[in-house]
Structure 1
């Protein structure tokens, strides 16, 4: 009878560990700097998103194929960025930020118009993209790069410089106009500052300043943006006009009940009462067809992604990595919170898609690039800033 693994070890025989296969798999993921648990959660979310998108798009298979193709590109970007060391990311961060800022200026001067907004740059015959998406990554990285080279918690001078780093791109994006993206970009930078250990006195002072600036912000909003806020407060005031979207989305979610009407069986979505059902309002399709249970399952996947991301950021061995990783995953959380909040009627409509579920290419690639940076930070834990 063959001796047990422990007996052979005690007698000095050469043996292979019983979990050698598991060890090899673990070493494989470590070599390519990929966190398998986070990757699995992202793949689960994208797969569920494709199923919901098929229904939300009116069962157009070409839409699902286009989204799946974009997901494959996004996964490739994730894998590539995971191989780039945090030292290299830190070194190239100022250039990425400046290039993003210059592209936002170019959008202001020669940007392409679409749906009443000037948000895109076009390289004829090659690509049409939104430079504002790039700032969702360049912003927290630039703020983290600055803070990681100075004493923490940050002093007033450092906070002021971070405010300038954040303010320039945010103003340019808001002028396009794109209030939703400008808020996400600002959040990414602010999260990096908060994670640096900003004192509660500063946080309270900034909150009071923000509250005092609300009247000024209101006066500088576009008419349609003011109307969105008023519609949020009183959606029934114009049920066939500005209130249509939120009334139809809440009706769809409420009609789904506990278990939903079934996949492809939603009336509000399939009969096209629900606007933008494959992009910003795809949560309403999910709620109508899969009910409260389906929504909770998807939200649980999001929660697990956020928890895993925060753990990866917390285990980074340097300030730059912790700040960037934390800001990226918290911005991802804001994506989910704002989208679900606006579709369910607890927040104004600001045009923020549901991450990796709503139809869209640039946002999916940007999100997965952020997760690639997060995995790089965790996978290259020997890195220490100079």
Structure 2
């Protein structure tokens, strides 16, 4: 039977924040796909509207059912995600050197995006049962390490190092939140410091090139460094108030790389300037704080850790995307939540918001 308290506790603020960021994203996307002098493509904007409609439906579906049901079926959700990631390696579409998408009629699905939510749910279930005052031991961390390593390895094989890195960062935040023994934490930190330099030898040539370009974009200004130089020019040229809607020259002349996906923040910064950029960043900071507030108010361990995981997913993607287009981080191909073009990304983020709403709406059950 429907509980009327769900309406009383419905999180209108979170919904408004999500729609505000999504609206800003649609405005930026319209400019990115219509102002280009080479090949305007309004079809992408229309597809994004369809994806937003689907995302809203998924969001509603995620908060209609008690979030404890996700805890119950966590293993099923996780195994389905692993199966889809495995299917990509055999049946996925090969585009621009990567095999990341499963064709579904006129659309394509990126299982690596959905894997983020699957990892969040399964780790939240595990940590909710394992939390104790002394913290997690090294033995306690073996299972979550395996649960994270499997999708991480499958995503790296595509290859999609950016998404794999986000999965690892989400898992790290959730693990630290669940609390680790001091001795175990010190051992893990030492191991990380010693092994990180070895990662260089396992990177693809183009990934090494991106890191070298990040350290010095001017080493190859017409080649590997071209994209990041152009993105910084676009951001800087917007100055305080921007050039105005559809008046960004870097965008219109198609100097920006992937201007509708990974580098869409540059389009917004050029047209709306510092004021528009800071407004969007402020909205992201508010939604991150909102997610942490939901986690803090929840008295159920699974709901708390689930909220922390979803919030970490949004926070890390915002940080990495804006950092890379500003030249503060290497270019790794991470989308800007609710803003970048991409159906799988939109649905994943709306799914995350739906889970946050779910926890927020049902907090009265544990008060």
- TM above 0.5, yes or no, is yes
* 1:135 counterpart residue number: 115
CA distance in 2, matches of 1:91, 1:336: 30
Q: Deviations over 1:290-346 (max 9, x none)?
A: 111110011011111111111112111211111111111111010100000000000
Q: Deviations over 1:238-266 (max 9, x none)?
A: 11111010000001111111111111111
Q: Does 1:46 align with 2:26?
A: no
Q: Does 1:355 align with 2:331?
A: no
CA RMSD after TM alignment: 1.8
CA distance in 2, matches of 1:115, 1:383: 49
- Is the Cα–Cα contact under 8 Å of residues 34 and 82 in structure 1 kept in the other structure? no
* 1:57 counterpart residue number: 33
Deviates more, 1:332-341 or 1:265-274: 265-274
* Partner SS, residue 299 of structure 2: coil
* 2:38 counterpart residue number: none
CA distance in 2, matches of 1:342, 1:200: 33
* 2:164 counterpart residue number: 182
CA distance in 2, matches of 1:33, 1:100: 31
Deviates more, 1:235-244 or 1:150-159: 150-159
Aligned ranges 1:98-109 → 2 under 5 Å: 98-109=79-90
Q: Which has the higher contact order (CA 8 A, sep 6+)?
A: 2
* Partner SS, residue 130 of structure 2: coil
- Is the Cα–Cα contact under 8 Å of residues 26 and 339 in structure 2 kept in the other structure? yes
Q: Deviations over 1:125-171 (max 9, x none)?
A: 37521211111001011111112122423222111221111111101
Deviation, 1:57, is 1.1
Quick one: which of 189, 210, 213 aligns to 1:228? 210
Deviation, 1:201, is 4.1
* Higher radius of gyration, 1 or 2: 1
CA distance in 2, matches of 1:29, 1:358: 35
CA distance in 1, matches of 2:107, 2:255: 33
Deviates more, 1:152-161 or 1:68-77: 152-161
Q: Does 1:298 align with 2:274?
A: no
CA distance in 1, matches of 2:233, 2:99: 32
- Is the Cα–Cα contact under 8 Å of residues 33 and 82 in structure 1 kept in the other structure? no
- Is the Cα–Cα contact under 8 Å of residues 49 and 356 in structure 1 kept in the other structure? yes
- Is the Cα–Cα contact under 8 Å of residues 192 and 327 in structure 1 kept in the other structure? yes
Quick one: which of 281, 287, 303 aligns to 2:269? 287
Q: Which runs of 5+ in 1 are unaligned?
A: 1-26
* 2:128 counterpart residue number: 148
Relative distance call for 1:278 and 1:28 in structure 2 (3 A) is farther
Aligned ranges 1:69-88 → 2 under 5 Å: 69-88=50-69
* Partner SS, residue 210 of structure 1: helix
Aligned ranges 1:233-382 → 2 under 5 Å: 233-381=215-363
CA distance in 2, matches of 1:29, 1:351: 42
Relative distance call for 1:317 and 1:292 in structure 2 (3 A) is same
Relative distance call for 1:31 and 1:168 in structure 2 (3 A) is same
Deviation, 1:198, is 2.2
Deviation, 1:275, is 1.3
Quick one: which of 89, 97, 103 aligns to 1:116? 97
Scaled by the length of structure 1, the TM-score of the pair is: 0.88
- Is the Cα–Cα contact under 8 Å of residues 131 and 178 in structure 2 kept in the other structure? no
Quick one: which of 154, 172, 175 aligns to 1:172? 154
Deviation, 1:62, is 3.3
CA distance in 2, matches of 1:143, 1:96: 12
Deviation, 1:202, is 3.4
Quick one: which of 163, 175, 180 aligns to 1:198? 180
CA distance in 1, matches of 2:315, 2:208: 25
* Partner SS, residue 122 of structure 1: strand
Deviation, 1:268, is 0.8
